[in-house]
Amino acid sequence: MTGAAHQYRRLFGQEPTAAIGAIAGAVIVLGMRSITDWITALIAVVTVAILWRFKKLPEPIIVLAAALIGLLVHPLLVVA
């Protein structure tokens, strides 16, 4: 059992499987609704790769980087 799962069990008296399932379901629903073109798919894949490599990277940095990329790329994709 990992440290986080052990802490969860100590606090709530049960395994975190229900919480993990709920979070995984939310990730799938949000991903299907928000990943609508190849740019957002590319940002999602790169984000997963970066988080896989740098496990301690703060989430606000990921959100800021994705927002900046979106602001830079969006004008190039909008049809006038």
DSSP-assigned states of every residue in 1-65: --HHHHHHHHHHSS-THHHHHHHHHHHHHHHHHH--SHHHHHHHHHHHHHHHH-TT--HHHHHHH
* Whole-number pLDDT of residue 2: 64
Q: Is the pLDDT of residue 41 over 60?
A: yes
Q: Is the pLDDT of residue 80 over 90?
A: no
The pLDDT of 22-31, averaged and rounded, is 90
pLDDT bucket at 9, cuts 50 / 70 / 90: confident
* Whole-number pLDDT of residue 64: 92
